[in-house]
Amino acid sequence: MYELVQTGDKSYYINCPAKIGVYDAGDGSVYLIDSGNDKDAGRKVRQILDKNNWHLKGILNTHSNADHIGGNRYLQNQTGCKVFAGGIEAAFTKYPILEPSFLYGGYPCRDLRHKFLLAQDCAVTDFSDESFPREIEIIPLPGHFFDMTGFRLPDQTVFLADCISSKATLEKYAVSFIYDVDAYLKTLDKVEQMEAAFFVPAHAEASGDVKELVQFNRAKVHEIAGRILEICGEPAGFERILQKLFEQYRLVMNFEQYALVGSTVRSYLAWLRDQGRLAVEFEDNLLLWKTVS
């Protein structure tokens, strides 16, 4: 864990739970792509930088989930580097309480205010700033989160953030986090058509070809949508739908999974409703979802 792996002339990734990219910009300066999940991850990254005599100029955040920005503050305090983020992700990175608040749908109780969902705040610079390394291409990859982006480095290594999960992860947990199902499926289509020397997903094996994995992720989305439609064959409330999905996929409920999977299920319900495949009705002051025959 935390081994440095080279993928191109100027590209590396640090192999850790959410892979961290390293771009060698020359003259001993580097940029990170994401920073790991906490201060400890930041320390381990700092050790790698020091070992290679690299000066950290900036961190390019793909999105604002805590496991990708958790090392920002430590590394920024230690090196004075800039942290770059764009769109809504910049706001979530600057004000990390937004993540657990969004997931829960209100002020998050203590059970959700921990480092896995609540990173430390840091100063943020927008991608549009003149100090952003312009040789790096910003690739919009919305769906998993609001304004998630990937990055294409000059040697054609592409960092894909969280737009695809590994087969092992999907087989074990089934329901990967998705904010916008329609945008996510369009992102999968986009990634499937991409050409690159090497792809580095944050939560899957780095590879020169990710088409098969993209197809596996797409199939899982449609499988879950199908199960929701089956559950809603009879009018069902959100809690009942969530319970049935946990039972079918043999998931274990806790506060964190309730927030993460629950938010994702709400996104599926919204997508299916917008497609006209689910209808809603109100009965005894309850919102019920019903499959459209």
Where do we find the tokens 């959100």? 238
d(CA 71, CA 16): 13
d(CA 237, CA 268): 14
33-69: pLDDT as tens digits: 999 999 999 999 999 999 999 999 999 999 999 999 9
Same domain for 244 and 198?
no
Within a domain: 285: yes
Within a domain: 73: yes
Within a domain: 113: yes
Residue 236: pLDDT band (50, 70, 90) is: very high
Residue that is last in its domain, among 183, 212, 241: 212
173 with 251: CB under 8 angstroms? yes
Same domain for 195 and 230?
no
pLDDT of residue 115: 96
143-161: pLDDT as tens digits: 999 999 999 999 999 999 9
Is the pLDDT reported for residue 19 higher than 90?
A: yes
Longest dimension (CA), the chain: 68
Q: Which residues contact 114 (CB under 8 A, 6 or more apart)?
A: none
Q: Torsions phi, psi of 46, nearest 5?
A: -60, -40
Q: In what order do the strands lie in the sheet with 82-85?
A: 3-6, 11-15, 20-26, 29-33, 55-60, 82-85, 125-126
7 with 13: CB under 8 angstroms? yes
Helix (H, G, I), strand (E, B) or coil at 252: coil
185-205: average pLDDT: 98
Residue that is last in its domain, among 185, 212, 239: 212
d(CA 219, CA 223): 6
Q: What is the CATH number of the domain that holds 175?
A: 3.60.15.10
99-134: pLDDT as tens digits: 999 999 999 999 999 999 999 999 999 999 999 999
200 with 157: CB under 8 angstroms? yes
- Look at the chain and report how many structural domains it folds into: 2
Within a domain: 217: no
Same domain for 234 and 111?
no
Is the pLDDT reported for residue 1 higher than 90?
A: no
151: its two tokens? 């990055």
Q: What is the domain range of residue 100?
A: 3-212
Same domain for 241 and 178?
no
Is the pLDDT reported for residue 293 higher than 90?
A: no
d(CA 157, CA 165): 18
Q: What is the CATH number of the domain that holds 267?
A: 1.10.10.10
pTM for this structure?
0.97
- C-alpha pair distances (Å), 191 with each of 75, 108, 217, 277: 31, 34, 12, 27
Same domain for 16 and 100?
yes
Considering only CA atoms, give the Rg of the chain.
Answer: 20
Residues paired with residue 290 on neighbouring β-strands, in sequence order: 279
Same domain for 193 and 233?
no
